[in-house]
Amino acid sequence: MTDNYLLKIYKKFLKLPCGRRLFSWYSARRAPYFSSISPQITQLRPNHCEVTFKKRKQLQNHIGTVHVIAICNGLEMAMGFMCEASIPKTLRWIPKGMEVTYPAKAATDIRCVAEVPGDAWKPGNLPVVVKAYDLDGNIVVEGTITIWVSERQKQNTE
């Protein structure tokens, strides 16, 4: 799937000094809500994406841990970029829902991961597994984002 538009852009940015940081900045500005967590896309390949962000005062809750909504923002970003880097050109996707649990406190910087099996891209509901990790590798949030995958409508060239 080397002709994927997003992977092409990502690879171009990686050739630049601070390419990951620049790509992340560029990408977060295209979907402005993502910029609220100052994310960095650290891995992007078909069926897998990782996004990291630092624990900052603006992202903390009343007990001093990273707020779960900030983490869900990172998980949704990882899912979205994974989908765009993976989905065949004949299909399209849209998120339908998110279910998450919080098995541990998020007291450090966060790494969000979204992935699906390589053979997952078919019309219908697609559950995307998402997990957020602290710096010690503990899962602090995990769940599923369900997306609806459908055929792209054929363009009428008349």
| Domains and their CATH numbers in the chain | 5-151 (3.10.129.10)
Predicted local distance difference test score (pLDDT) of residue 156: 66
- Asked whether residue 1 carries a pLDDT value surpassing 50, the answer given is no
Tokens of 128: 């995307």
Strands (E), the chain: 40-45, 48-53, 91-101, 110-115, 124-133, 139-151
Query: Closest Cα to residue 83, out of 120, 38, 32?
Result: 120
| pLDDT for 136 | 97
Give 49-84 pLDDT, tens digit per residue: 999 999 999 999 999 999 999 999 999 999 999 999
For the ranges 15-24, 26-35, 66-75, the maximum mean pLDDT occurs at 66-75
Residue 158: its pLDDT value, please?
Answer: 58
% pLDDT > 90, the chain? 86
3-state secondary structure of 156: coil
Asked whether the beta carbons of 148 and 93 are under 8 A apart, the reply is yes
Identify the burial level of 81 via C-beta atoms within 10 angstroms of its C-beta, where 0-12 means exposed, 13-18 middle and 19 or more buried. buried
Higher pLDDT, 35 or 130: 130
Mean predicted confidence (pLDDT) in 28-36: 85
Over the chain, what is the mean pLDDT? 94
pLDDT digits (tens, 9 = 90+) for 79-107: 999 999 999 999 999 999 999 999 999 99
Do 79 and 145 touch, CB atoms closer than 8 A? yes
Whole-number percent of the chain with pLDDT over 70: 97
